[in-house]
Amino acid sequence: MPGSPWLRISFLAAIFLLGFGSLACKANEREIRNVLFIVSDDLKASVLGCYGDPFCKTPNIDSLARSGLVFDRAYCQGTSCGPSRQSFMFSRYLNGGSVNLGQHFRDNGWYTARVGKIYHMRVPGDIIAGTNGKDVASSWTERFNSPGLEAHTPGQYACLNLNVFTESLDNRQSTKMPHRMFVSVRYEGDGSDQADHKSASKAIELLRKHREDRFFLAVGFVRPHYPMVAPSEYFDRYPWQEMRLPQQQPGDLDDIPRLGLAGTISSRNPIGKYPDNQKRMWAAYYASVSFMDAQVGRLLDELDRLGLRESTAVVFTSDHGYHLGEHQFWQKSNLHEEVLRVPLIVSVPGFESGRTRSIVELVDLYPTLSEFSGLPVPQDVQGTSLVPIFEDHAVEVKPGALSFNKGYSLRLPEWHYMRYNDGTAELYDMKNDPHEFTNLANDAPYFEQLKQCDEILRNRLRFAGIKDTSR
C-alpha cells in the first residue's frame, strides 16, 4: 500500500471500524424489543403434540413450535411449583438471588407485568381468593391476579380417587383438602369465567396498551394443575374409554429407594382401585391442556395482529412435569424423568426454527433473554446463555442438568443419576431404558459408570456453590 505507515494504519483502522460497525448493526438487528414469557403449571412435556403425543390436541403450542426452537431435553431444577419458579426467576439452583428476571428488565427501563401465576401461588387457594401468593413485587411495574371458582365451578364434578361423581356444590374437595389432586370439573360454558381465560384477556389488553413500549410480559396459566376444570367441548375431545394408561412392570418399585418414591402411589391410594378413573384422569388432564392451549393461541394471534412478532421473543415452558400413573406415581416432587423434563419452546426473530437435543436447564432462560435483549447479566446468575444453540442447534452448552428433591439428580445425555440424602441412588441407562424401569445403581457391572456420574455430579455442585449434603 503506498503512502506513509501512519496512512496505512489509519486505512486499516477505518476498515476495522467499518467491519466492527457492520457487526454491531447485525447484532442490533437481532436485538429484541419485547418478551412474552408464558408459563404453564404442572405440564409434562410428553403430552404435547409437538413432543410426540398422538392424542392431545395442542394446535397453538404446536404452531409456536414450528416457528421456534424446540428443546427436547429441557429440565427444571425444583420439582414443585415454589422452588422451581424461584429458581428460574432468579437463575439460581437453590434459593433466591439479588435481582430477579422481571426486576432486571424493569431496572433497565422496560415495562414489566405479571398476569396470573409466575412465582408460587397456591392452586386452588390463591386462585379462588385472587391473592398474590409468593409473588415478588419488585419484579413488576404492574401485576394482575386472575380469580376463578376452580373446583367450585358449577358442573359435573368428579373426585376420581374416591369414585365420586356429582353436580352438587356441597362437599367438594378444594383448598388444603387431601383428595383435591384427583378433582375434575366438566361444565357448560365458554371458559371466560376461568382464571386462564381471564389471564389471556388481561394480557391481550396489556399488549395493546404497551405495543409501543419495550415490555417483558409474563403470563402464568394454572392449567393443567388440579383441579382440572374445563368447558365440556374440551372434555368431548377425549373420551375416557380411549385413553391408554402408562405401561407398568411387575416389581417396578422394588429397586427404587425410599426417598425416590412419589408421595402418591396407586397401590397406597384409592385411585389404584379404579382403572377407569385413571383413564378419566388422563382425559381431564388432556382437556385442561387443550383449554390452556386455546389461551396461548389467543395471545399469539394478538401478537400477530399487532405486528409484534418480528420484535418479540416468545417463551413457552412449565415449572415442572407430572406423573399420571407412570411407575404407579401421581403428581410431582420426585426426581424421575416425567417430573423433571419440561416443555421449552422459544421463538426469537431472526433465528431459524428447529429442534435441539442439547441438554438445558430452566435457570438458563434468564441469561438467554438478557443477551437477546442487549442487557448485561448479573454476576450471581448461575444459568448459561442458550444463544449459541440458536445459532447452531447441535451445540452443547453444558454436560448435564441438575435438579433437587431429597437429594440430587444429574441428567446426562445417556444416563440419569440420582443420589439421595441418605446415600441411596438410582442409575438409568436412558438410551436403552427411557422409561426408567431398571435401576442399575446396585449392579456391579455399572459401578464404574456410577462412579463417573458421581464425580460429574460433585463437580457440578461445587461449580454451582452448592454444599453436598448427601451421605
The length of the chain is 471
CA-closest candidate to residue 457, choices 405, 429, 416? 416
At 470, list the grid cell. Answer: 448427601
Residue in the structure block whose three cell numbers are 376463578:
148
- Sign of the C-alpha dihedral, residues 363, 368, 373, 374? positive
Report helix, strand or coil for 432: coil
Question: What's the pLDDT at 8?
Answer: 39
Report helix, strand or coil for 165: strand
Question: By percentage, how much of the chain surpasses pLDDT 70?
Answer: 93
DSSP 348: -
Report helix, strand or coil for 386: coil
222, 117 Cβ separation under 8 angstroms: yes
Q: Is 272 exposed, middle or buried (0-12, 13-18, 19+ CB in 10 A)?
A: middle
Question: What's the pLDDT at 29?
Answer: 55
Question: Rounded to the nearest 5 degrees, what angle is found at the Cα of 385, between the Cα atoms of 381 and 386?
Answer: 145
Radius of gyration of the chain (CA): 24
CA-closest candidate to residue 322, choices 224, 177, 438, 425? 224
148, 195 Cβ separation under 8 angstroms: yes
CA–CA distance, 114 with 137 (Å, rounded to integer)? 10
Which residues, 6+ apart, have CB-to-CB distance to 104 below 8 Å? 366, 370, 375, 378
CA–CA distance, 75 with 77 (Å, rounded to integer)? 7
Question: What are the residue boundaries of the structural domains of the chain, listed by start?
Answer: 41-405
User: The domain 41-405: what is its CATH number?
Assistant: 3.40.720.10
CA–CA distance, 146 with 156 (Å, rounded to integer)? 23
Question: What's the pLDDT at 295?
Answer: 98
362, 76 Cβ separation under 8 angstroms: yes
Give the predicted TM-score (pTM) of the model: 0.93
CA–CA distance, 132 with 175 (Å, rounded to integer)? 16
Residues of the chain short of pLDDT 70, as ranges, are 1-30, 471
Give the strand pairing for 215-224 and 111-116: parallel
DSSP 28: H
DSSP 320: -
Position 271, amino acid: I
335, 78 Cβ separation under 8 angstroms: no
CA–CA distance, 436 with 261 (Å, rounded to integer)? 13
CA–CA distance, 414 with 425 (Å, rounded to integer)? 17
CA–CA distance, 463 with 380 (Å, rounded to integer)? 12
At 248, list the grid cell. Answer: 407398568
Question: What's the pLDDT at 5?
Answer: 38
